[in-house]
Amino acid sequence: MPARTTRDIAELADACAALRRDGAAPAVGVSGVDGAGKTWLCARLASSLEARGVRTLTLGVDAWRTAPEVRFRGPEWASTFYERAYRWDEARAALDAARRSSGAGLILFEGVFALTNERRPWFDLTVWVDCPPATALERALARNQEGRGAEALADEYDRVYQPAQRLHFERDRPAERVDWRFVNG
């Protein structure tokens, strides 16, 4: 079944709120390229869900980012970043613990590479944040999460982030295999 597409946060919140709660809190995986607006979307979804009485917990994969010397290594920069940028075993353990917790009625889990073929089954609902590459790059450079100079950061995007995203698209086809596409740009 093709993904539903929306620009409406309330429509996406309706889909999240409708998820069944059979003891464990349902989990929604939110992914997209660097700078697409994953964190922004999750903050607004959480507000909308909380207003409906759904206790929401947001987990961001950046909490499990590996050290720079692990995630930024050549000569295969893209594949190294794709495979080693995050401690996925710890992220999965945190997600599982949150699902069993009485503190949340729904988990929003956001991050780049969250929707690989191996991780997509972790989630009850999946969302791809669709954003034009130029817009996402502009946002990511403005955010400058790595705290680098403009030239160094632009080089990092050319050498690491964008090639890793292309690898992700080839291997996992995340934008094609989701329940929802949220247009953000």
CATH number at residue 121: 3.40.50.300
Q: What is the pTM of this model?
A: 0.92
Q: Using the structure block, give the residue that is written with the tokens 């944040």.
A: 129
Q: 106 in a domain, yes or no?
A: yes
pLDDT tens per residue across span 33-52: 888 899 999 999 999 999 99
Split into its structural domains, the chain has a count of 1
Contact call for residues 30 and 129 (beta carbons, < 8 A): yes
Strand order in the sheet with 56-60: 4-6, 180-183, 125-130, 27-31, 106-110, 56-60
Contact call for residues 63 and 169 (beta carbons, < 8 A): no
pLDDT confidence of residue 158 = 83
* 10-residue stretch averages of pLDDT, the chain, 185 residues long: 91 95 90 91 97 95 94 88 96 96 90 97 96 79 73 80 92 95 91
Reduced DSSP (H G I as helix, E B as strand, rest coil) percent helix, strand, coil of the chain, to 5 = 50, 15, 35
Q: 1 in a domain, yes or no?
A: no
Q: 64 in a domain, yes or no?
A: yes
Q: What letter does residue 158 receive in the DSSP assignment?
A: I
Domain that holds residue 59: 10-183
Q: 2 in a domain, yes or no?
A: no
Q: 131 in a domain, yes or no?
A: yes
Q: Give the whole-number percent of the chain exceeding pLDDT 90.
A: 68
Q: 128 in a domain, yes or no?
A: yes
pLDDT tens per residue across span 74-105: 889 899 999 999 999 999 999 999 999 877 89
Q: E strands, the chain, where?
A: 4-6, 27-31, 56-60, 106-110, 125-130, 180-183
Q: 4 in a domain, yes or no?
A: no
